[in-house]
Structure 1
Amino acid sequence: MTVRLTLVAAARCSALLAERFDDDRPLDGAGRHEVALAAPALVPLGAAELRYCSPTARSRATGEALGYAPMAQPALRDCDMGRWRGYTLAEVAAREPEAVDAWLADPRAAPHGGEPLLGFIARIGGWLDTRPTEDGAMVAVAEPAVVRAALVYALKAPPSAYWNVDVRPLSTVTLTGGAHRWHLSLMSLAG
């Protein structure tokens, strides 16, 4: 049995340089405009048998704007950033440079009091591995960090690879396979 899961990164809710940890703000005007521009390419993904989203406001709004009527999945929430929630990386680095260095260097570290990177990747991988196993298509709108974690898990890459994956708003990636055997599937746009 092979399933096809397309992950769609949620539209933005702020300027990319002002992205905040564990941010749950709704889509802003620019994000709604970007969804409208991307809709012709993304709306067809809504034909999937199963449609999911992260529980964040921007993921839900992105999925709704694309007509997916997605079911929110608590396991697809962003990484719990503890006391760093709501701050930018620059703000935290200015106040706690050693803690940020430890967090970036050790995937088991959680100096913010929240979830370590390794735990976050494992949680997202656990969600992937519990998807229905019958052949079919699924789509999930999620925060860029969730998409990054899913890719690291699916490719069995070391946790440090997480920092090398850039997921832009409204980008997509497709994983095929099933529990513990995921593959990255790059689709051609050529007919």
Structure 2
Amino acid sequence: MSVRVSLVAAARSSALLAERFDDDRPLDDTGWHEVRLAAHSLIPLAAAELRYCSPTPRSRATGAALGFAPLVQPALRDCDMGRWRGLTLADVAAREPAGVDAWLADPRSAPHGGESLLGFISRIGGWLDTRPVREGWIVAVAEPAVVRAALVYALNAPPPTYWNVDVRPLSTVTLIGLPGRWSLSLGVFPG
């Protein structure tokens, strides 16, 4: 028996260059517009037996707008960025260029005083591996960073692969498997 986990990246809460680390902002007008445009293709995911979301306002709003009525999962929170929380990458690079370089180069590094990339990927993998082990379907709306971490974990890819995964708002990916044994499934939603 295996479980199917469909991950949906939350709609946007800001323009790409204005994104902030560990951002708690709600959906912006563009995000709401994108949810309305994508709803027809994402609503079938509401048929999943279990529906979850990250605790961020934009993840909760995305899940609710799609009719998922998701349960908040604290383990699906974004990476803890410590003192960088609320800043843009440009802000941090101007203030702490060596810290940014260390963070990007070493997955065990946490120059911000928060969670390392490796710790973040492991936490998200732990969430995946503790899903009910039975035939079933789960949908989770989460921050793009959470979806990236889940993919790196599921594919057992080296942690730096995280930086090469582009997760757009409202994109979806499905993982099928059992704890510690996941496969990526591309294609149409299960019916």
Q: 1:137 maps to what in 2? A: 137
CA distance in 2, matches of 1:145, 1:7: 11
CA distance in 1, matches of 2:32, 2:51: 20
- Offset, 1:188: 4.6
Give the letter for the 1:131 counterpart: R
Alignment of 1:5-24 (within 5 A): 5-24=5-24
Matched, 1:125 2:125: yes
Q: 2:97 maps to what in 1? A: 97
Normalising by structure 2, we get a TM-score of: 0.98
Fraction of identical pairs, as percent: 79
Give the letter for the 2:21 counterpart: F
Q: 2:113 maps to what in 1? A: 113
Q: 1:146 maps to what in 2? A: 146
CA distance in 1, matches of 2:8, 2:67: 13
User: Could you say what secondary structure the match of 1:177 adopts?
Assistant: strand
CA distance in 2, matches of 1:110, 1:181: 28
Normalising by structure 1, we get a TM-score of: 0.98
Give the letter for the 2:162 counterpart: Y
CA distance in 1, matches of 2:178, 2:170: 24
CA distance in 1, matches of 2:178, 2:186: 17
Alignment of 1:22-37 (within 5 A): 22-37=22-37
Aligned length: 189
CA deviations 1:102-146 (Å, max 9, x no partner) are 000000000000000000000000000000011011100000000
User: Could you say what secondary structure the match of 2:68 adopts?
Assistant: coil
Give the letter for the 2:51 counterpart: R
User: Could you say what secondary structure the match of 2:149 adopts?
Assistant: helix
Structure 1 runs (4+) deviating above 3 angstroms are none
Matched, 1:41 2:80: no
CA distance in 2, matches of 1:40, 1:16: 24
Give the letter for the 1:143 counterpart: E
Unpaired runs of 5+ residues, structure 1, are none
Q: 2:70 maps to what in 1? A: 70
Q: 2:57 maps to what in 1? A: 57
CA distance in 1, matches of 2:151, 2:48: 20
Give the letter for the 1:60 counterpart: R
Q: 1:188 to 1:139 in 2, by over 3 A?
A: closer
Give the letter for the 1:171 counterpart: S
CA deviations 1:48-87 (Å, max 9, x no partner) are 0000000000000000000000000000000000000000
Q: Superposition RMSD on alpha carbons, in Å?
A: 0.8
CA distance in 1, matches of 2:66, 2:188: 22
